[in-house]
Structure 1
């Protein structure tokens, strides 16, 4: 049903059973006739296949309206519990000291605590005028949609995801807006200054806007914790950010190094000399570690149709459904670690979105061209009709 083995579904239920039994079917109002465990499986199926509520409810022989109300109410109740167990608790456990002692730091950039990137999902064009809709238009994908920033540690588990932002918002802006997470998450903790994080060469930065928008997360997540100042943190910008760990980003965060300790692949100048062999090798090392977040996006999109298909549900519930999918993906990563195939799936997903956007733009262009041709033909006919009577009268 959801690429989960029966024993894995049982483990999910065991983790949330106490919370569900305490908060489900309580208070006033009509009680659900379905068992809580059954509703959990119905919810997973709805997240997996997405589509319309009519399609999802038909799988369980239920009417769409009560099925939709039941699933939304259940997700609203379950979302905080899943996020706490599979996301927030993981962020608290996965310190640099823990990752180093277990040998699970990034292979090439061990002084980086996590990697951050943004994923895009197509959505319906917002109602209203052009000024209202253009905020959701992504120039890269040529589609209307939503963006979410996700931070992934070396073990392949996400420790933070932001609320959705409009598709036109830059990656660096989202990073800066998530400062409340990044600042404490990047801080060193007590006792981490004695850990050897090996030396590393500095790189350059790109795509800064969305990262800056997520500044409230990055500022807290990147701060060193008490006792972590004794760890050997040799690496890029170690002298400038003595109390912070690094975060891996892509080339879209250019200029963010003035605010955060970020590491990104080297970006060559548009009209400058090509990168040297050492710079290309350095960029490859960074990309090799940062690809973990792309692998995570691939697993997320592969598991849950609600995160990969075109979003047609209520936009107000997007954050709730996305957070739940992230928490469940974290559980799945624990059972089956991320693989290169996940990253390849995400690249194909991005290519499919871009191709879809280009096809839509081409269809609009052809439609406009046909309208212009038709208008030109009508103008020629009217001109000829006006000239013909004049020639007849002259005779």
Structure 2
């Protein structure tokens, strides 16, 4: 079931196409995958307390709701000019997601998403983008300075914004998330009631991928260090053997330091 779930999240598409890959009916296959995710979903995230982390909102396009205009317009995002869902993800400095909120309608702003969640501890510090300018009312927040209307930022403000924007831990996480899972980058056309379950599942699986990647990088660095040490020992051993061979044969290293190579021609 785990393999079926990973294939479903990786390739997305229609249930008929996914079920055909495993020679099953679409209804049977979708029920099995949904039931499996429902079982593991409560254990995906624990309560992590991080003293410093970055937050950002992920937007995913969805099909237009089959409802009256007054009901479906709340799903329309003026920022992206499409219908969709938004969800806020908190990423720790080590690159792992520590919290994911439930999805909201596409018309909700980043600041509204931030205040929509539970209250934060006052000693927490949060790194956010320009969409969360007023989070300082809730927590100790670090946000870039927005350019005033018909005005310009000072040189100090430009430098401060560049330093804050250089830490793109959340953007890097979102990029890896959409690269790994087709369901995250594709237009979501499945049941909207199950969106939270799927989104939080492939966020947790991205954490697993990041952890394994860090372990792999650490293993490669250790292997490279051991290889360099072994190569250094071999070169040092060869130099010592060559020096001992010249001494035993009656030649010292100074005998060869006469200012020219043996193959050079000497003109008189």
1:265 and 2:223 correspond: no
For structure 1, which runs of at least 5 residues remain unmatched after alignment? 1-38, 97-112, 179-215, 224-242, 338-395
Q: TM-score, normalised by structure 2?
A: 0.77
Q: Which residue of 1 aligns with 2:63?
A: 124
Q: Which residue of 1 aligns with 2:115?
A: 176
- How far did 1:129 drift? 1.1
Q: Which residue of 1 aligns with 2:180?
A: 303
* Residues 124 and 139 in structure 2, CA contact (< 8 A), matched pair in contact too: no
Name which of 242, 248, 252 aligns with 2:127: 248
Residues 75-224 of structure 1 aligned to structure 2 (within 5 Å): 75-81=37-43, 83=44, 87-88=45-46, 91-92=48-49, 95-96=50-51, 113-178=52-117, 216=118, 219-220=119-120, 223=121
For structure 2, which runs of at least 5 residues remain unmatched after alignment? 215-268
Q: Which residue of 2 aligns with 1:279?
A: 157
- How far did 1:246 drift? 1.2
Q: How many residues get paired?
A: 214
Q: Deviations over 1:278-337 (max 9, x none)?
A: 211111111112x11011111111111111111111110111111111111111111225
SS of 1:271's equivalent?
Answer: coil
Q: CA RMSD in A?
A: 1.3
Q: Which residue of 2 aligns with 1:4?
A: none
- How far did 1:256 drift? 2.4
Q: Which residue of 2 aligns with 1:363?
A: none
Q: Which residue of 2 aligns with 1:59?
A: 21
* Residues 111 and 134 in structure 2, CA contact (< 8 A), matched pair in contact too: no
Flag as ranges the 4+ runs of structure 1 deviating above 6 A.
none
1:319 and 2:258 correspond: no
Structure with the bigger RCO (C-alpha within 8 Å, sep 6+) is 2
> How far, CA to CA, are the matches of 2:169 and 2:163 in structure 1?
12
Q: TM-score, normalised by structure 1?
A: 0.53
SS of 2:56's equivalent?
Answer: strand
> How far, CA to CA, are the matches of 1:177 and 1:80 in structure 2?
21
